[in-house]
Amino acid sequence: MKWIIVLLLVLNAGWMLADGSRALIVGDYVTPASGEYAGQLGPWAGLVSAIGIEPRSTFMKMVFIFYGIAALIAVVGFALNQLWGRNALVVLAVLGLWYLPIGTAANIIALILLFLKRSRYAHPATL
């Protein structure tokens, strides 16, 4: 179960770090090149727009980068059984729920597994 959590969050955080870095360097996120959704961002863009943040702003690109770095650090801590790793992953998974649709799904699954893992395997002294 631990490695499923690690895989889900590494893929999500790694993608956000890569896409945010690309957007900052090249000027835009990865978007479909052709078809009905050519040049369009994912559903997350509508969510951040609704709260007043421009999805293609430098601020939002930096959010992607910082979130990706923070989540990858938390994953490493969790994978190495550091005391702070699990708690950091819970916080970052909750904070990453806005990244519709794939990030939301990955973070929900990871949160469920984190809570199942804690309730099934945690020693009472570590709760």
pLDDT in tens, 80-112: 999 899 999 999 999 999 999 999 999 999 999
Q: How far out from the chain centre does Cα 9 lie? A: 6
SS3 (DSSP) at 57: coil
Secondary structure of 16-85 in HEC code, one letter for each residue: HHHHHHHHHHHCCCCCCCCCCCCCCCCCHHHHHHHCCCCCCCHHHHHHHHHHHHHHHHHHHHHHCCCHHH
* Residue 119: per-residue pLDDT: 58
For residue 126, pLDDT over 70 is answered with no
**C-beta of residue 102 within 8 angstroms of C-beta of residue 9:** no
Count, residues in the chain:
127
Among residues of the chain, what percentage have pLDDT more than 70? Answer: 93
pTM (global) more than 0.75: yes
